[in-house]
Amino acid sequence: MAGREYTLGIIGGCFPVQEQINPVDLYHTLIKNQIKNETGIELNILIKRYDLLHLLNTEPNGEIAEKSNILLFHIRPDPYLINSKFYVKFINKDGKKSWKLNFHFLTGFKEPDLVAVNYGVTSKAHKKNFMKILLRGLNYIMGIILGNNSISIRKFRESISAIKKKCNFKNIKLIVMGPPSRPRSCIEDHLLKKLDKALSKEYSKSDIIYIPCFGHTDDSGEYIFLEDNIHLSPAGHKKFAQLLYSEIKNLLAF
């Protein structure tokens, strides 16, 4: 296998290009270097971002579809959580502040026409605003009552099925990586755990490789999030690299 080249396509959010992390410590760089050292294989990396679930029905496309041997699809928390809410505030495509009420069961699945969600570099933990926490919880609870959460889970399943069909057509090997935790919020953490359980059950007996990554610590008990309790730390990237490495290495043998 030495001297051969393969391409890993990644569809995700800020995680693959996380600006708070030194590029050499990003999970895909760790995997790339380990594979190079152990097998001599050169693993090229292509990265594409998604922010809206309905657009995933056209993924993978372009360079990702034409050049990837393996596709890694990250289950992003933000599109799922945004669509699980009842009331959503966002910046629209015109760069203006906007809002909408999610009534997916009445209107069909209609997402906010938002621009990319970026939290930016955060060096300090968010101060706890108990009124904000309460309102956030009520917002999600109302969304659960209206069925938004269940509909959002179903839409992720549909999107993964669409990606799988395109991967089969292009002979691309697919890996789906489950949602990470969101320790900044108990209810968001709970909802992401619910999503992870639903997808784990769905794909446990399928030909889709599904890798759960939910949790707040690594195997040694080290906390894997930065102080904002949203973005992963270098320890988190190392943990994810370890979870992915053997699956990617095995697929390189096909």
Q: Is 109 exposed, middle or buried (0-12, 13-18, 19+ CB in 10 A)?
A: middle
CB atoms within 10 A of CB 70: 21
**pLDDT tens sequence for the chain (254 residues):** 456 899 999 999 999 999 999 999 999 999 999 999 999 999 999 999 998 888 777 655 667 877 899 999 999 999 999 999 999 998 888 888 899 999 999 988 988 887 655 443 344 444 568 888 899 999 999 999 999 999 999 999 999 999 999 899 999 999 999 999 999 999 999 999 999 999 999 998 888 999 999 999 999 999 999 999 999 999 999 999 999 999 999 998 75
pTM: 0.90
Is the CB of residue 174 less than 8 Å from the CB of residue 164?
A: yes
Q: Report how far residue 91's alpha carbon sits from residue 99's, in angstroms, rounded to the nearest whole number.
A: 8
3-state secondary structure of 164: helix
Domains of the chain: 5-251 (3.40.50.1110)
